[in-house]
């Protein structure tokens, strides 16, 4: 078994991320690993406009509150929360590198075709550039897997 000391969970607060968060908590608890939960705010397109920068600054308190709301169901493991600003994939890879992360656990929206072409894929970019393995989790969890079925049950209850 690969030792896990640091697990990174990037979140966009979606249902997809919620499943991945539950899995990251479970893995961190089982391995006694440190869990870092990260949200990356997307930078405004136009930096020159004071309004765009002010809008980002106005969002920070609410995003920090949402981020800190993500806690393990039983308080184990303790979670370190981080809020960054920039390109999501680049910031996720940067945090993974800086923290010597052993595993990234993140949700994926599973876009295909034109949706993927237009929206891009943060998960795909992270997988290409991450310094460690990346585990992606879809929101639809197959009940044939006991671990994932348990996570689905916990998410349904909470």
The token pair at 22 is 């539950």
In 3-state terms the chain splits into helix, strand, coil percentages (rounded to 5) of: 45, 20, 35
In a domain, residue 1? The reply is: no
Question: Could you give the number of structural domains in the chain?
Answer: 1
In a domain, residue 152? The reply is: yes
Cα–Cα dist 133/126, whole Å: 10
Each residue's pLDDT tens digit, 4-26: 999 999 999 888 888 899 899 99
- CATH number of the domain residue 87 falls in: 3.40.50.620
Task: Give the residues across from 84 on adjacent strands.
Answer: 40
Q: Which domain holds residue 122?
A: 6-157
In a domain, residue 53? The reply is: yes
In a domain, residue 46? The reply is: yes
Beta strands in the chain (DSSP E): 6-10, 34-41, 79-85, 103-107, 134-137
Each residue's pLDDT tens digit, 32-90: 999 999 999 886 655 555 555 555 677 788 888 888 889 887 778 889 999 999 999 99
Q: How many CB atoms lie within 10 A of CB 92?
A: 27
Distances (CA, A) of 39 to 11, 49, 60, 63, 145: 5, 24, 11, 8, 28
pTM of the model: 0.78
């Amino acid at each position: 078994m690969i030792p896990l000391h640091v697990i990174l969970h990037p979140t966009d607060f979606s249902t997809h991320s919620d499943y991945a968060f539950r899995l990251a908590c479970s893995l961190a608890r089982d391995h006694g690993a440190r869990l870092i939960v990260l949200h990356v705010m997307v930078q405004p397109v136009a930096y020159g406009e004071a309004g765009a920068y002010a809008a980002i600054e106005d969002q920070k308190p609410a995003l920090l509150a949402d981020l800190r709301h993500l806690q393990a169901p039983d308080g184990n493991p303790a979670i370190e929360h981080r809020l960054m600003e920039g390109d999501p994939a680049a910031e996720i890879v940067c945090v993974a590198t800086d923290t010597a992360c052993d595993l990234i656990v993140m949700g994926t929206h599973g876009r295909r075709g034109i949706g993927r072409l237009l929206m891009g894929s943060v998960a795909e970019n992270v997988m290409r550039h991450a310094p460690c393995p990346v585990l992606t989790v879809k929101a639809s969890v197959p009940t044939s897997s006991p671990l994932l079925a348990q996570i689905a049950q916990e998410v349904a209850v909470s």
